[in-house]
Amino acid sequence: MEIKKVLIVGAGTMGRGIAQWFAQQGVKVELVDAVFEVALAAQELANASWDKLHAKAKFNEKEIASFKSNLTPVEISEHSNDCDLVIEAIIENVDIKRELFQKIDMNMKKECIIASNTSSIPITTLARELSQERKTKTIGLHFFNPAPIMKLVEIIETTWTDKQLTKDLFDWFSKRSKKPAVCKDSPGFIVNRVARNFYGESLHILESYDQDKVEEIDNVLKNVGGFRMGPFTLMDLIGIDVNYDVTQSVWKSFYNDPRFRPHQIQREMVESGRTGKKVSEGFYKYEN
Ligand code: NAD
């Protein structure tokens, strides 16, 4: 399987990390966002990250120069139509993602693979309006945050996905420092389904906002439970809004099963704009 040119749509937390990782694999990456300045800022962040890795001697000067030349922010109306793979990492909204998939289907070369980085939306739902041929090349590629570092990539196939494509992608990622896992196209796939209860039960223990309890629950799960981060630190990192959207999507997909019901603390935090580390305030305060 040859992946030489990738289009990443959405240059937020995930899109920019995915773009950075692909550029490090020697793949040409075009990065677009609804707001072009976001794509430009993503390039700057990737460059700063590579400079740090260079200073730590993780990569040499030649490698860093090649990574930088592989990543290009492009105006959304001006991306190439001959990419081998498109990965969307835009807002977790089914209608907006479906509209984008249809546009890509119409414009991108027919051999191109279309993938979604959605955390929770069934890939079947995103693929069902696409052309018959494209359906066989549509798949979920779910990266984790931070994408250049986290090894797991969930590969989600639909009933239409060409099984050989799944195998080829599995091999492609396995050869390049990732640990892929093939998942069923069910809400939340594997990790986000299990994780709903990691967050949900922690929010139930908290019940109402209390800073001491936030720290206590985080400390217990981290220091005693062996998790790398406690649930509140992790929600702050993901973004309370992003996590709330995923919770709602999984809950609705399981016919409002109470096991997955969102908590009102999540809604209150989103409505008051305390959406986590990216805005310097979530369950904790940050100096960004
Ligand atoms: P984000 O809010 O940081 O970034 C989304 C970006 O998409 C924004 O820059 C926005 O301007 C852009 N955008 C929105 N609509 C667009 C459109 N129609 N065309 C082009 N650009 C558009 O979000 P994120 O955290 O990077 O999440 C993106 C996707 O990845 C979501 O589906 C989310 O569920 C999934 N995801 C998130 C995480 C995480 O930890 N944040 C982890 C895995 C997967």
The whole-angstrom separation of Cα 234 and Cα 228 is 9
Q: What is the CATH number of the domain that holds 99?
A: 3.40.50.720
Q: Are residues 72 and 16 in the same domain?
A: yes
Q: Are residues 203 and 149 in the same domain?
A: no
Phi and psi (nearest 5°) for 140? -95, 135
> For 80-102, what is the mean pLDDT?
96
The ligand 1 site (C-beta within 6 Å) comprises 9-15, 33-35, 38, 76, 89-92, 96, 100, 117-119, 144-145, 238-239, 242, 246
Q: What is the pLDDT of residue 12?
A: 95
The whole-angstrom separation of Cα 265 and Cα 244 is 10
- The ligand 1 atom at the shortest distance from the C-alpha of residue 118 is 32
**207 has pLDDT over 90:** no
Q: Are residues 161 and 105 in the same domain?
A: yes
Q: Are residues 167 and 226 in the same domain?
A: no
Hey, which of 16, 90, 99, 243 would you mutate to test ligand 1's pocket, going by the most ligand atoms within 8 Å of its Cβ? 90
Q: Are residues 155 and 44 in the same domain?
A: yes
The whole-angstrom separation of Cα 128 and Cα 121 is 13
What would the pLDDT profile of 95-130 be if each residue is shown by its tens digit? Answer: 999 999 999 999 999 999 999 999 889 999 999 999
Q: Are residues 197 and 169 in the same domain?
A: no
Active-site residues, by number, are 119, 142, 154, 192
Whether 83 contacts 30, CB under 8 Å = yes
Residue-averaged pLDDT of the chain:
96
> For 254-276, what is the mean pLDDT?
96
Residue 19 lies in a domain: yes
Closest to 143 measured CA to CA, from 156, 157, 134: 156
Q: How far is the CA of 88 from the centre of ligand 1 (A)?
A: 8
Domain that holds residue 214: 192-279
Q: Are residues 169 and 211 in the same domain?
A: no
Q: Give percent above pLDDT 90 in the chain.
A: 93
Q: How far is the CA of 216 from the centre of ligand 1 (A)?
A: 31
Which of 149, 183, 217 is the endpoint of a domain?
183
Q: Are residues 44 and 162 in the same domain?
A: yes
**288 has pLDDT over 80:** no
Check the CA dihedral 261-267-270-276 and report its sign. negative
Q: What is the CATH number of the domain that holds 256?
A: 1.10.1040.50
Whether 246 contacts 188, CB under 8 Å = yes
The whole-angstrom separation of Cα 60 and Cα 207 is 50
Total number of residues shown for the chain? 288
Q: Are residues 37 and 128 in the same domain?
A: yes
Task: Report which protein residue has its CA nearest ligand 1's atom 36.
Answer: 119
- The ligand 1 atom at the shortest distance from the C-alpha of residue 15 is 26
Residue 285 lies in a domain: no
Alpha-carbon separation of residue 197 from 39, 83, 103, 192, 251 (angstroms):
34, 38, 36, 9, 11
Whether 88 contacts 106, CB under 8 Å = no
Alpha-carbon separation of residue 140 from 120, 143, 153, 201, 245 (angstroms):
10, 10, 9, 28, 18
Split into its structural domains, the chain has a count of: 2
> For 138-157, what is the mean pLDDT?
96
Q: What is the pLDDT of residue 61?
A: 96
